[in-house]
Chain A
Amino acid sequence: MHLRRTGLLASAAIAATLILAPAAPPALAQTPPGVLAIGQIAEPKSLDPAAVTAANDFRIVVNLYDGLVRYADGSFEIEPALAESWEVSEDGTVYTFTLREGVTFHDGTPVDAEAIVFNFDRMLDEEHPYHDTGPFPLSFFFSAIEEVEAVDARTVRFTLNEPYAPFLSNLAYPTGLIVSPTAVAEHGADFGRNPVGTGPFRFESWDANTAVVVVRNEEYWDGAPPLEAAIFRPITDANTRVAEMLSGGIDVMVEVPPDSVSRFAESEDFELYEQAGPHLWFLILNAKEPPFDDVRVRQAVNYAIDKETLVENVLQGTAEVASGPIPPAFAWAYNEELEPYPHDPERARQLIEEAGATGSTVTMFVTEGGSGMLDPVPMGTAIQADLEEVGLDVEIETYEWNTFLAQVNPGLEGKANMAQMAWMTNDPDTLPYLALRSEAMPDNGGFNSGYYSNPEVDRLLQEARTATDQEERARLYKEMQEIVHEDAPWAFVANWKQNAVTSAAVDDFALQPSFFLLLHDVTKE
């Protein structure tokens, strides 16, 4: 009897609380005004800018450090940062930077020419006493550097082994951010957990798997930020990230899953931001083996894929239709006159027939997921359906991301006819140079896994890389895009739009085409 009575009482109590629960209760776990909580997709690996490779880690380090130069707001144009000016020699191999006066690292160390030399020697010189604080996976961004010298306290000179136009852009990339030599000497291999830079925010604490906290740098050379602090929280599960955003546990959320975008867009409590980035999602076509050794069949694939539907339905508007090998985010180098291949199954069927390839069986490598790959499995099946529509018989092979790269990077010959791929870069040079040149075949250590070769494209890319005038580079890239568009070594599918959601309390927030998350100007009430 006793048992039953307590049971009844308990259920009555639960029912009562559920019914009487206040309609709009105060939110738990909210951070106060001036303190911004950001939902990240993973725990950072390190906060040493020379050691990190992931966009997730870049979002933190770009707020802790400055480079010699940086991307101007909203573009990929280069503007001064720690260097207030620079000169490039006539032949494009000597860059001389004049450092801004009076800037110090968060630990008080002055930013002088010696500090800059220390940074690049640490990364590039295997004999350097602090080279063992790496590894530095992206140090090849600076492999063109022959020597870095401190001319005087405020002048530093880089000598390159050949003219290399993307050099300034690489300096603005996280790999080129400048760390405090004193702090590296003090913490050694643990520097990545005790970062010291010059940026608008100072590192405060890193509670493993819980949060990285950065606080306002009152002495910032470009003006102290309005925010008092920013807290980066790793939340790997996308659904949980959405729930945290809805419950007020975070103020900013990046990489909003496509399914949740409309929910945030329609709500007055949130602001949705979108920004197309330097990203390209494409299919590598194996030009060495039939049927894609015939340019008509490669073009046919481009005609056959219904990119609008992919972008609108599968990706739910989180990407735009791509037209060629250079994403529009590189506004200065992008060829505006290029139109994406229209969806024209009739034309595709005709081209395939002309090439005598109707009914061919083609193998497509699909990945389960991976950096920048968006929704590869549903995209793979949609593309499969589009291609079967025009007379190709598509067999899909699916691999986990690391396995996938191990299959694709050494080249597709004998394994597959096509493979999904995505790249995100910081300069229009990077992707075509590494993946479309005749000299970039897999056995030469390049990424031309589909064996595309056109001497004219090779020449244009080489010239664009060594030209120091941006207008001249732009002209060369535009010409290259036209040829590649026509040759169709890839099926150009989508350019990913980065998105983010903020709560209504957050203001002056902006996404950058570089995909960096800059918090310098952001406010929160």
Chain B
Amino acid sequence: MHLYIAKRLAALVPILFGLTLVVFFIMALIPGDPALAILGAYATPENVARLNAQLGLDESLPVQYLTWLGNLLQGDLGRSYSLNRPVLDEVLERFSATLILAGAALVLCTIFGLLAGIVSAVRQYGLADKAVTLLVLVGISMPSFWLGLLLILFFAVELRWLPASGMYAIYGGGDLPDLLSHLILPAATLAAVATGVVARLTRSAMLEVLRQDFIRTARAKGLPERRVIYVHAFKAALVSIIPVIGIQAGFVLGGAVYIETVFQWPGIGRMLVQAISTRDILLVQGGVLVVAASYVLINLLVDVLQSLVDPRVKA
């Protein structure tokens, strides 16, 4: 097990190396450069050349990449020219905001997805099942940025119960209740699609398990129904549900880009979009590194969890 984890972690290095190489050269291929982005209408060839020299962008591409790599090995991600601050500071700050949002969404989609899935499996074709199926369909089909805007209009503009955007109140605030009140709407929006997916899969997994012999045996033994469902059946179904939740973890990290834009959540998705449009290559590299590493780590975590739940899966 330890060896397996170590191997997987070691595989992270070539993955990240390849990724940064690809991202670096794709960024170089997009037309326009940072100086053009800064100067806009004033981008005369002369001004562009002068600014590029000041930004250290007049070196050849391989040299720029190697310089970046060399600095990276010393733990230096460089300085973002568009934000005028160290990339590492910005990336860590933004990534922790994304983690809070994605984490909350993951918790929400797990809790509500599992509950809804179990309820509709247990009451197959009943009213609850139909209601859940309908809700799930709506949740999956609705574009999340649109759902986000609807929620803002209803809860922030009409009812004024919750703040419309941001992570903390700009005046006063800054404590946990403040954070939670800002977190509810974006986390719920981000969780909507994932909840639907988890609910659907939980339902079918539970239905399949409930038909199996050991459930009949459990019932025949006279176990209370609740115990049969929540302990015996659910545990067996979990084996096929965990990987789905793992995939949802990746999904919410990716989906955070839209949600962060709609709700002005200061996360890394929004940072990456901004960094690409200003051609801030160091910031893009730093952001991609962190997101990719977390993606790989989440997958690893899911595999390990699964092998713990199901001894048949060998880690």
Residues of A within 8 A of B (CB): 2-4, 7, 21, 25-29, 31-32, 35, 37, 42-43, 45-46, 48, 51, 53, 134-135, 137-138, 140, 189-190, 192-193, 207-211, 213, 231, 233-237, 239-240, 243-244, 246-249, 370-372, 400-403, 405-407, 409-410, 421-424, 434, 445-447
Chain A residues near B160: list those with CB within 8 A.
25-28, 247-248
Which 9 A/B pairs are nearest by Cβ-Cβ distance? A402-B32, A209-B266, A135-B54, A403-B31, A445-B44, A247-B156, A243-B164, A211-B170, A46-B84
Tell me whether A240 and B152 are in contact (CB under 8 A).
yes
Tell me whether A240 and B164 are in contact (CB under 8 A).
yes
Complex interface residues of chain B between 43 and 69 (CB less than 8 A to chain A): 43-47, 51, 54-55
Chain A residues near B39: list those with CB within 8 A.
53, 137
Given A209-B266, A405-B43, are A231 and B170 neighbors across the interface (CB < 8 Å)?
yes
Residues of B within 8 A of A (CB): 30-33, 35-47, 51, 54-55, 79, 81-85, 90, 93-94, 97, 119, 122-123, 128, 149, 152-153, 156-157, 159-171, 173, 181, 226, 261-264, 266, 270-271, 274, 277, 279
Given A28-B160, A193-B85, A248-B160, are A236 and B45 neighbors across the interface (CB < 8 Å)?
no
* Cross-chain contact of B159 among A21, A43, A248, A422 (Cβ < 8 A): A21
Tell me whether A371 and B41 are in contact (CB under 8 A).
yes
Bound complex: CA A381 to CA B81 (Å): 36
* Cross-chain contact of A243 among B156, B159, B161 (Cβ < 8 A): B156
Tell me whether A403 and B30 are in contact (CB under 8 A).
yes
Bound complex: CA A27 to CA B153 (Å): 14
Query: Count the A-B residue pairs with Cβ separation under 8 angstroms: how many?
Result: 173
Tell me whether A208 and B84 are in contact (CB under 8 A).
no
* Cross-chain contact of A237 among B41, B162, B171, B262 (Cβ < 8 A): B262
Q: A402-B31, A402-B277, A422-B41 are in contact. List 5 more A-B contacts (CB 8 A).
A: A21-B161, A25-B161, A207-B168, A239-B262, A445-B45
Bound complex: CA A211 to CA B47 (Å): 31
A/B interface sample: 30 pairs, CB < 8 A: A25-B160, A26-B160, A43-B274, A137-B35, A137-B38, A140-B42, A189-B79, A189-B84, A190-B85, A193-B84, A207-B168, A208-B93, A210-B266, A213-B170, A231-B171, A234-B264, A236-B264, A236-B270, A240-B263, A243-B149, A243-B153, A243-B164, A244-B164, A244-B165, A249-B164, A401-B32, A402-B30, A403-B30, A406-B31, A410-B45
Tell me whether A233 and B166 are in contact (CB under 8 A).
yes
Chain B residues near A231: list those with CB within 8 A.
170-171
Bound complex: CA A403 to CA B32 (Å): 5
Closest A residue to B131 by CB, please name it: A7
Chain A residues near B55: list those with CB within 8 A.
135
Tell me whether A247 and B164 are in contact (CB under 8 A).
yes
